[in-house]
Structures are given as structure tokens and as C-alpha cells.
Amino acid sequence: MRAEGRGGAAGIAGTAAISGGAGGAGAAGGVRGGSGRRGRAGGARGLRAGAVLGGVALLVPGCASMPDHGEIRQVQASPGADSLVRVFGVPPADKASPMEIVRGFVEAMTADDPQLDTARKYLTEDAARSWKPSSGITVTAGGLRISGQTEKDPETPRFKMSSTMLATVDERSAYQPDPGGGTYEEYLQLLKNKEGQWRIATPPKGLVLSESDFQRIYKPVNKFYFAGGTLVADPVYVRQRTDPDSRMDPMTQTVKSLLDGPSKWLGPVVTSSFPTGTELREGTKSLTYDGQNTLRVPLNLKADNVAQPQCQRMATQLLYTVRDMTASRLDRVELLRSDKSSLCAVTEAAASTIASRPAAPRYQYYVDKDDKLVRMPVEGQAEDQQSRAEPVPGPVNSPALKVGAAAVSHDERRAAVVSEGGHALYVVSLTTAGLMPQPVLTSKANKLTAPSWDARGDLWIADQDPANAGLLWVPAGTGTHEKIDVSGLGGGRISAVRVSADGVRIALLVIKDGRKTLYVGRIERPEHKTDGAAVSVRELRPAAPQMADVTAMSWAPRGRLLVIGRESGGVVQARYTLSDGSMVAGSLPGATGLSAVAATEDETRAAPVVAQAVDDGIVSLPPGAQWRTVGAGGRAPVYPG
């Protein structure tokens, strides 16, 4: 292997070459970035990898062509490689053994060369033509174990690749965790070509990458689609560098993915403003901001004649999709016709009026030591903020009611309050005085969870009554409640509910076999269904598979979740996770001893995280500051939603 950092080069024999290069931004908390010094460190790790691989080059005779035992070799492609280190495959050596061909192909799948041309050199001519690495990715929890070389059928040796399955990434670049952690297995059949060289005749359908290689090569981005007038984040992965197949840079890959349409999981509940068949103008490989912070995007004929309102929505989707992809500020997106004339443009200010976004919260809320619902202004996180907490207006704090948990509507005009003990749900005005209304619903077993509002003004809550457990939906917060069908619960019981502001995703804490697991489901309403069926929740997917147990959660900006939980054998921590369950995206400092947490989805300003600490009551973490107590003895913190 030849490894080059930014400061020099060294080389030994091996199966791949690694060089430092100008890298894209790494994904927060997942993909490592760094300086030239980190690049050199990555090169050193590459040299060690080469030495290990060289050490397993000698083959031990195995069994028949369909092996059930034999020598097993683990191939950890590019272990620990830095995101600034670029990997290039090395072609197969003359007269390479079957094991060397398999091992070289596994390494070459991690390469950055155009069309993954080096990886194709390990395949037969027919296999090289038919192999489609862009058809999907299998992500494994560790390196691939290779076994199966045989003496009994030396003309058609067959090898098994196996590992622990972590996830798959489909042809639309959407990540899907494997909640069971099943076994990945694939057989590679080798044949000799006309030159007498061993080549692989049956490659895997797409790419097979270890988790470390996947995070080195790919980064998460959000593309945006409309649900009514609201934009919804659809997380996908793109190459951190130029894509080997399309030769597109990361920005162009992201725009192409947006034009291709939403992921299969989100597709049933969102729409794209781009006409069917809209693509980038042929030959577009790179998109960059100009000196006026404007991104110009050339489209094909399909978009030439769209009306201005539709074009403005198209440009709004684009602006929100690409605005966080560079360090410089994006002020304007302009769409171009196929002849490169201007189709329309939208500024960031105009886009914010076209797409409704979560309103900036005015207050944080919690239940104080006297079981009353109180609020604190979000503005001016002063040291004396504890003294500024005040009872919310309206009848909710009448002497007859002790508040157990609460949720406040996005417009902060109503509160949904569960009485102490979880018996009854009330919906109360925060703008007018009056008597306490009758409860909207009650639980015979006194097991109502905390409620949650969506931006439509609908209310969601779960009843944990063993005789009638389920997710409940209250239209407009005042209508007759309905029990919602949730597919994929598998006998689990919902213990916490949080709806995203867009109203199409719902986070559920589910208790099963003594363990709390976080899932995200898709909310389907009658307008999403051809048969006009009732509201339902579909396709639960794990949102924090890295955690052995989850205690509490809240939605956060950029489609993330803020989760309190612990990894297997670890301590309880507060971490941001991507909602597709693909990676941890950052942790809160000093966040131990927390039992509840609240964040806001608003992206216009950095509102503090509010949490409940076991020993201190309500604590707040403003951006760039330290935790401080703001409500001694308080509990159940919430932001609007």
C-alpha cells in the first residue's frame, strides 16, 4: 500500500493507495475532519492496515465450493481513515491468488477513482459491465470476514463475505437501519479469464462498506419537500467528494437527489414542486455560489414553462436543501431554463414566506414545585431568569387542578394539560380567563402520557392502560378523540409521544421486553390515501439504534432528535441523533442526571435547551454557556409543540 498525507509519502506493497486531499465538510459527530496533521495520521493508519493485509496473504486450504467451514479472514477496509485521506484502489497483481482478488476488490470498493474503475478490474468482463454500485449500499458494523478457498474445486473457487448488518442505503440514498443486527452474507464466485487471471464473476449488487468507511466516504444532508405549505426534511447521504459514477460534486449530487424525488419512506406524505422528469441540464457536474451568494441551477426542458408560483416553490425547496452545505451564506437561488435563461429566483426572505416554518417560541414552559404550569421568556437568557418565571394566564392554574404534564400549541394560545396522576386531559385557553373546561378524554388506569401538538393544531397523546393501550388523536384539540392504528409496534407499549412541527413525523418511545426504544413513524392522513382511510401511523423505524435504552426525547432543528439515553454498558447522556437513525450528531456537555429534555425546532435563533435534572429541577443550557438551574423543584419542561 502507498499512503500519502499532506506532508509526504511512504509506501509498501498492498492492495490500495491512500492520499491526503482537499476534503469536504464532515458530518457533525460522525465523519471525522481535520488538518493536514490529521491527514498524515490517517496515512500512518493506512500503512498499518497494509501490513496486516499482507500478513494474511498466504492461503490455507479450505473445503468444497459451497463451504461450511474453513479459514476466515477479516478485511477491515481503510480502518480509521481520516475524511481528508483519499483512497485509490490498486489493480490486481499479475497471477494474484483468489484470496488476493477478493481482498483487493473489498478494498477497491472504498476508492474514489472514476466509475470505481479499479474495483471493476477485479471482475470478469461481464460482471464489470453489469455491476451497479449506485444501486445501493450495505453498511456493516465491522470489517468483512472472508472464508471459503477450496482445493476440491480449484477451477471455480467460491468465497463467502460475512459481517454484522448495520444498515442499507437504497438507490435514492436513504438510510435504513437494521434493527435486528442480522448477519450479512454474500458469495463471490471466481473464474479465470482468457488471460488465465482470477476474476470475480458474481459481485455484490451494490457497495459493501464498513461503518467507518461509510462515514468517511458519505455525509448526511437534508433535502426538502412540501407537506401542504410546510417543508419537511428528508435525510439522505451523498459522497463527500466527487461521485465516482456521476462525477458530480457534493452540491450537485444533493440537487440531483432532490430532483429525483423524496425517499420511499417519506414519499407517501410529501410532494415535490418540480415537474416529473425534471433533471439538471445535461453535463452539469458542479454547482457553486457566485460572488453575490447566489446559486444558479440549470434545468432541462421539463421545467422550461412552469408558472412563476410553482417555480418559486421549486426554488424554495432548493434553497432550504443547499443552504447549509457551504460555510458562506446563501442569499438567493436562481433557476435556469434549458437555454440558460432565467426561469425564476427566490431570496431567503421570500422563501420564508413561501414555506411555513416553525415559529420562534416566545416562552419555555414547565411544571413548578407547586404543580402549576409556568413560563419563562426565551429572550435575554439572564442569570436572574429564575425570578422571571410566571404562571401562565388563563384558567389552567385553578386551585382544583394539579398539573402532571403539559404541551403548548405552536401559536402559544392553548395548553393541553394532563392532570397529576395521568387521569384526564384538558385543553385550556392561554389568552382568556374563565372556568376550567371538561376533560377531552380520561384514562381508566390513570396512565396518560404527556401530550403533543402538531402545527395543524391537532393533539396527540397515548394511553398506557393495559386494557386499552394505544395512540390517540384529537382533531383540532377539541374534537372527539380517535384511536390511531400504528403499524410495527409488535406488542410494544407507547410511553411517550412527540410530533414534529411539520405534522408528518411522530417520535414514539416504545416499551417492549423491559427496554425503551425510540422510533419515528410516518403520519398518513386521508388526503394521502386513495381510499380516504382514517389517520394512521406507518413504517416505524428505529431513530436511536446506538442506544440500549432511551429515557426521553424532543425534536430539534434540522430534522434531528435530542435524546436522553445510554449506550450498552454506558452512562446516561443527552445526544442529538439524525432522525433516520444513521448516526449520533453531537452531544450536550455535562448532560448527566437528566430525566426529561426540551428543544425547539426553530432555526432562526439558538434557543437554549431546557431539561429536568434529578437533583436540580429545571436547568437551562443557552448556546455557548454552561448549565444553570432556572426552576428549583420544577419538572416536565416543554417548548411549544
pLDDT of 90 strictly over 70: yes
Shared domain check, 515 and 403: yes
Listing DSSP states for 342-357 in one string gives: EEEEEEHHHHHHHSB-
User: Does some domain include residue 237?
Assistant: no
Looking at residue 123, what DSSP letter applies?
B
User: Considering the domain boundaries, does residue 515 fall inside one?
Assistant: yes
- Apex 331 CA angle, 326 and 332, nearest 5: 105
Q: Is the pLDDT of residue 639 over 90?
A: yes
Q: Check whether residue 521 and residue 568 sit in a common domain.
A: yes
Angle between helices 250-260 and 308-322 (to 10 degrees): 130
Q: Are residues 341 and 434 in the same domain?
A: no
- Asked whether residue 231 is assigned to any structural domain, the reply reads no
* Per-residue cell: 13: 506493497
At 478-495, the pLDDT tens digits run: 989 999 999 989 889 999
CA distance linking residue 134 with residue 205, whole number of Å: 9
Choosing from 184, 217, 250, the residue where a domain stops is: 217
Query: What is the rounded distance in angstroms from the CA atom of residue 286 to the CA atom of residue 242?
Result: 9
What would the mean pLDDT of 100-118 be, rounded to a whole number? 93
Q: Is residue 478 part of a domain?
A: yes
Give me the percent of the chain exceeding a pLDDT of 90.
Answer: 66
- Express each pLDDT in 173-222 by its tens digit: 999 998 777 899 999 999 999 999 999 999 999 999 999 999 999 999 99
Specify if 223 maps to a domain. Answer: no
Measured between alpha carbons, how far is residue 139 from residues 25, 175, 306, 536 in Å?
21, 10, 40, 31
Q: Are residues 133 and 33 in the same domain?
A: yes
Choose one of 217, 251, 268: the last residue of a domain. Answer: 217
CB contact set of 240 (below 8 Å; sequence gap of 6+): 23, 24, 26, 31, 83, 216, 217, 218, 219, 250
* CA–centroid distance for 478 within its chain: 34
Residue tagged 455491476 (cell numbers): 131
- Cα 340 versus chain centre, distance: 35
Strands (E), 487-638: 493-499, 505-512, 515-524, 536-542, 549-556, 560-566, 572-578, 584-587, 594-598, 609-613, 617-621, 628-631, 635-638
- Kindly state whether residues 560 and 448 are assigned to the same domain: yes
Whether 32 shows a pLDDT value over 50: the answer reads no
* DSSP assignment letter at 271: B
Segments forming the whole domain that contains residue 206: 2-217
> Mean of the pLDDT values across residues 96-123?
94
Please indicate, yes or no, if residue 48 is contained in any of the structural domains: yes
Tell whether 524 and 550 lie within a shared domain. yes
Q: Identify whether 224 is part of a domain.
A: no
pLDDT tens digits for 337-355? 999 999 999 999 999 999 9
Q: Are 251 and 202 in a shared domain?
A: no
Report the C-alpha gap between 56 and 203 in whole angstroms. 22
Percentage of the chain exceeding pLDDT 70: 85
333 and 372 part of one domain: no
Residue type, 65: S
Contact by Cβ (8 Å): 577, 613: no
Residues 179 and 305 in one domain: no
- Residue 388: its pLDDT value, please? 80
Cβ(549)–Cβ(563) below 8 Å? no
DSSP E strands in 324-408: the ranges are 332-336, 342-347, 363-367, 373-377, 390-391, 403-408
Name residue, grid cell 464498513. Answer: 210
At residue 608, the pLDDT reads 92
The SS3 call for residue 58 is coil
Mean pLDDT rounded to a whole number for the chain: 84
Q: What is the distance between the alpha carbons of residues 450 and 553, in angstroms, rounded to a whole number?
A: 12
Please name the residues in contact with 394: beta carbons below 8 A apart, sequence gap of 6 or more. 415, 428, 429, 430, 431, 432, 433, 434
Same domain, 501 and 391: yes
For 578-620, what is each residue's pLDDT tens digit?
Answer: 999 998 878 888 878 899 999 999 877 778 999 999 889 999 9
- Return the minimum-mean-pLDDT range out of 75-84, 219-228, 333-342: 75-84
Highest mean pLDDT among 60-69, 83-92, 178-187, 254-263: 254-263
Specify the number of domains making up the chain: 3
The pLDDT confidence band at residue 290, using thresholds 50, 70 and 90, is confident
Q: What is the pLDDT of residues 378-430, one digit of tens each?
A: 965 445 444 589 999 999 998 889 999 999 999 999 999 999 999 999 999 99
Q: Which of 286-295, 406-415, 557-566 has the highest mean pLDDT?
A: 406-415
Question: Is 317 contained in some domain?
Answer: yes
Kindly state whether residues 205 and 269 are assigned to the same domain.
no
User: What's the one-letter identity of residue 5?
Assistant: G
Task: Judge if 303 and 436 occupy the same domain.
Answer: no
Residue 483 is predicted with a pLDDT of 96
